[in-house]
């Protein structure tokens, strides 16, 4: 699956985040490095969400 990301140049390099995955962000000294780093961040984010969602029971409130 592919996710859109936003990239912003900063004084320290590039900040990058995925608006569809709250809290999923990264950075890099170059645009290419930032793009590689966000791929890892998205993968880790999705693995964590899968683990959290598989560990508990679903309750209606």
Read out DSSP for 4-61?
--EEEEETTEEEEE-TTSTT-EEEESSHHHHHHHHHHHHHHHHHHHHHHHHHS-----
CB 39 within 8 A of CB 49: no
pLDDT at 23 over 70: yes
Q: Is pLDDT of 28 > 80?
A: yes
pLDDT (0 to 100) of residue 47: 96
């Amino acid at each position: 699956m592919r996710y859109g990301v936003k990239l912003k140049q900063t004084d320290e390099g590039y900040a990058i985040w995925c608006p569809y995955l709250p809290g999923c962000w990264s950075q890099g000294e170059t645009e290419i490095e930032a793009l590689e780093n966000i791929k890892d961040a998205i993968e880790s984010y999705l693995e964590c969400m899968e683990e959290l969602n598989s560990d508990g029971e679903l309750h209606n409130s």
